[in-house]
Amino acid sequence: MRVWIDQDLCTGDGLCTDHCPELFVLLDDGISYVRDQVTRRVASDPGGRTCQVTVPHKFESNVIDAALACPGECIFVEEDVSYERPRSPADDPPHTRR
């Protein structure tokens, strides 16, 4: 999963930082941005979709909650096509009887 913020829509309420302070940060301009967990850098230049960051698995539900709670509807969550989710037994085809 990847996340980014459209700063033009951000109202600066900071609800995202309440839900997931590990990934969302409010800067001095009063607008929220996303923080890359690997580099610890805030993705703020130029902002928007070009500043997507990968969401660590342990924060996925927090990021979704933040996006749903956002009054500006500026948090965008996208599937990460490079992500391979762990296999589960449900992924295996059902066994057929002979």
Q: pLDDT at residue 24 above 60?
A: yes
Assigned CATH class of 2-78: alpha beta
Q: What CA–CA distance (Å, rounded) separates 1 from 4?
A: 10
Model pLDDT, residue 33: 95
- With 50 as the cut, is the pLDDT of residue 3 above it? yes
Task: Indicate the domain borders of the chain.
Answer: 2-78
Residue 97 confidence (pLDDT) above 60: no
DSSP string covering the chain, please?
-EEEE-TTT-----HHHHH-TTTEEE-TTS-EEEE-TTT--EE-SS-GGGG-EEPPGGGHHHHHHHHHH-TT--EEEE--TT--PPP-GGGSPPPPP-
Tokens standing for residue 56: 């660590």
Q: pLDDT digits over 34-65, tens only? A: 999 999 999 887 777 888 999 999 999 999 99
Structure confidence by residue, pLDDT tens digits, 65-77: 999 999 999 999 9
